[in-house]
Amino acid sequence: MSAYDDDNIFAKIMRGEIPCVKVYEDDKVFAFMDIMPRSDGHTLVIPKAKARNLLDISPDDLADLMTAVQKIAKAAMAGMGADGITLQQFSEAAGGQEVFHIHFHVVPRWSDVRMRPPASAMADVEDLKKHAEKINTAL
């Protein structure tokens, strides 16, 4: 497994070098809207700790991350009026990982709505801001 790369896109987003639509931040985690959402309200939750994926994150940092994932999932479900949540996490290229900073996808789901295909379309930033506000309000 390769070493953590400080120049990955999520590290740059956390440092403010690349813009994002932020949903939540504390001293341990950062959550922001996915720019190619699979559903309305699709949020990415990442630790501030430097870890490539599930295979190298420390147990303590993983516990902090999962606590935040649950918090965001509950808020996304309530704020977006969803019927359920899909969580996704990919580790290493063979596992589907494309950005090598551990992250969880929190994807609100509705019973009668299919998820969009991965990386199918860029979202309108104003729509992302509205979704982030709904989730943030539910926090």
CA angle 23, 105, 77 (to 5 degrees): 65
- DSSP character string of 55-93: TTS-HHHHHHHHHHHHHHHHHHHHHHT-SEEEEE---SG
CATH number, domain with residue 94: 3.30.428.10
Query: Which pair of tokens denotes residue 29?
Result: 């985690």
Of 42, 101, 103, 131, the catalytic one is 103
Question: Does residue 96 surpass a pLDDT of 90?
Answer: yes
Q: Cα–Cα–Cα angle for 125, 84, 81, nearest 5°?
A: 55
pLDDT at position 126: 98
Closest CA to 107 of 131, 136, 129, 127: 131
Q: What is the structure's pLDDT at 63?
A: 98
Tell me what pLDDT residue 1 has: 76
Domain-located, residue 3: no
The dihedral through the CA atoms of 10, 12, 13, 19 has a sign that is negative
User: pTM of the predicted model, to two decimals?
Assistant: 0.96
- Examine residue 22 and state whether it is found in any structural domain, yes or no: yes
Asked whether residue 32 is assigned to any structural domain, the reply reads yes
The tens digit of pLDDT for each residue in 109-131 reads 999 999 999 988 999 999 999 99
Quote the number of domains for the chain. Answer: 1
Q: What is the mean pLDDT of the chain?
A: 97
Q: How far apart are CA 4 and CA 70, in angstroms?
A: 25
> What is the residue range of 65's domain?
9-138
| pLDDT score for 119 | 87
Other Cβ atoms closer than 10 A to 58? 11
**2 within some domain:** no
The pLDDT confidence band at residue 22, using thresholds 50, 70 and 90, is: very high
- Can you give the pLDDT at residue 45? 98
Rounded Cα distance, 100 and 52, in Å: 5
The whole-number pLDDT of residue 13 equals 98
- Is 103 among the catalytic positions? yes
pLDDT in tens, 37-91: 999 999 999 999 999 999 999 999 999 999 999 999 999 999 999 999 999 999 9
* pLDDT number for residue 14: 97
